[in-house]
Amino acid sequence: MRDFDVIVVGGGVTGLGVARDCALRGLRVALVEEGDICRGATGRNHGLLHSGARYAVTDPQSAAECVSENAILRRVAKHCIDDCDGLFVNLPGDDESYRAKLMEACRRIGIGVREVDGREALAMEPKLNREVTGALVVPDAAIDPFALSIANAIDAHRHGASLLLRHRVERLIVAGDKVSGVIATDLRTADVVELHACVTVVAAGIWGSSLLSSAGISLPMLASQGTMLVYGTRPCRHVINRCRVPSDADLLVPDRRVSIMGTTSVRVDDIEHIAAPLPTADEVHSITAGAALLVPELADTRVLRAYAGIRPLVAKDGDTTGRGLSRGIVCIDHNTRDGVKGLITITGGKLATYRLMAELATDAVCRQLAVAEPCVTAERPLPGSDVEPTDEMRPPSATERVAIARHGALAREINMRGSQAGALVCECMSVTRAEVEFAIKVLGATDLSSLRQCTRLGMGQCQGRMCACRAANLLVDLGCKTPDEALRDLKEFVGERWRGQQVVAYGATMREAARARHTLLGLSGLHRDN
């Protein structure tokens, strides 16, 4: 049994942001997460730092939240951001009048926008469809959700937060009209843990609805699945949107050396599917067709994998897909709404608005605790963006430059002095042995999945065919795992990689999958039954 001021349920970027904000305001905080961080929607999105333009016409409230937070994150989380800007392009058949409507909506909300003709759009992005008729330029950007989450976790921990990963919350503790904490199970030991706090914040995404029911609260939520494809190249420097009302297969986001194309919006009611969302063949075909229409060369580009995330949307009668629901923030004080004290829900929003969501939830916590400390997260840089790179941090080595781009000022703690430090573990993403050691010792990585989140190991062209084996050996060499544990971890890792490949396993992707199977079975002993 342990006592805190506040318990946060959910280890996505919003929950981590709440934990950080609470800790910075001097509160004793515990975050409880069933798996690792980024297990849910945070680790399964397209990595777009919205300017707000995508929703300027259809959802101005959400758009206004996005444009404000976009400017803040560019200051406080700049090491997580690729400041690439975005284009909203018109293709033949698109409603040309929508471009003027979108430009006017952006200007009304305060989103920087300028119009270019088709020729200028092609000069900016030569690989676009040659029939583009015009475009709008907006301040979209790409953001690394893993780096963003890790930076929040680091800062929360530095300020005293307890991060209880691999702890499943079984139920809320309810006494009369008040929630006083949670009952959780440590999934590594099967021990039952009782955590008490004056306030509990539910930041568990789509799973929040079932947790609230343990306190007798009904909050109907619609699970909207969005599927995305990872292409093995980066044909465009900018984020590319179709200039139309948000729809399926109309968004291409550059992600370092690859590109992410999406997305769909399909209502999901099957709880088991929500826990492990899988793209469908129809979704894949829809997205590949949309990609080829935007950037024709993508028709012949290898699709590395497909993945899906579940958007948590507060339900509305008559909406079957979630396209019509606001992406705005929903922050609920259940004392006001349901007469249940000590309980707050934060949901909705976008990756781009996580910090504002955390601020609103923490403000609600502080009101209940009569704490007057103000929020500082709009001014206080995250670890990695808190120090400007110096000349000493600009080494000639290409792999070191990549590490700095990934971790910002935190890369100062990567020790490149050892004889094996510069050895490449993952060629596709330029991950060195030194960076793997840094991820384990500084960022808290414990297995291949968390190494992937910290370094992007296994997220490139080979999808872990070689680097996963090397990294598993390193986990043994560094004392993190026994050989048998490392082999089981390797099986789980390549199994998850295959889950994302099987629905796109045709052509070049199937050939690469066959090579990976041959390599892993022949060299790594994955045929062993353990």
Q: Do domains 2-41+146-219+327-369 and 80-138+222-314 have the same CATH topology?
A: no
Whole-number Å distance between alpha carbons of 524 and 517:
10
pTM of the shown model = 0.93
What's the token pair of residue 72? 């803040």
Of the candidates 319, 250, 326, 304, the residue with the CA atom closest to the CA atom of residue 94: 250
Burial call 198-221: b when 16+ CB within 10 Å, e when fewer: bbbbbbbbbbbbebbebbebebeb
Q: Domain spans of the chain?
A: 2-41+146-219+327-369, 80-138+222-314, 391-524
Average pLDDT score, the chain: 91
For residue range 17-41, what is the model confidence (pLDDT) as tens digits? Answer: 999 999 999 999 999 999 999 989 9
CA distances to 196, 466, 481, 510 from 523, in Å: 49, 10, 19, 20
Q: Which amino acid is at 217?
A: I
Handedness of CA 112, 114, 120, 125 (dihedral sign): positive
CB 255 within 8 A of CB 212: no
- Return the ∠ at Cα 17 (arms to 14 and 19), rounded to 5°: 110
Whole-number Å distance between alpha carbons of 414 and 353:
30
For residue range 215-255, what is the model confidence (pLDDT) as tens digits? Answer: 999 998 888 899 999 999 999 999 999 999 989 999 999 99
CATH code, residues 80-138+222-314: 3.30.9.10
pLDDT band at 530 (very low <50, low <70, confident <90, very high): very low
Q: What is the DSSP letter of 216?
A: T
Whole-number Å distance between alpha carbons of 266 and 450:
29
Of the candidates 242, 154, 35, the residue with the CA atom closest to the CA atom of residue 454: 154
pLDDT band at 64 (very low <50, low <70, confident <90, very high): very high
Q: Which of 143-147, 396-400, 420-424 has the highest mean pLDDT?
A: 143-147
CB 44 within 8 A of CB 171: no
Whole-number Å distance between alpha carbons of 384 and 404:
9
Whole-number Å distance between alpha carbons of 108 and 122:
27
CA distances to 184, 256, 311, 358, 442 from 203, in Å: 16, 29, 13, 9, 26
DSSP 18-42: HHHHHHHTT--EEEE-SSSTT-SGG
* Model pLDDT, residue 395: 57
Instruction: Tell me which of 3.30.450.20, 1.10.3210.10, 1.10.10.1100, 3.50.50.60 is the CATH number of domain 2-41+146-219+327-369.
Output: 3.50.50.60
Mean pLDDT across 63-77: 97
- pLDDT of residue 317 exceeding 70, the answer is no
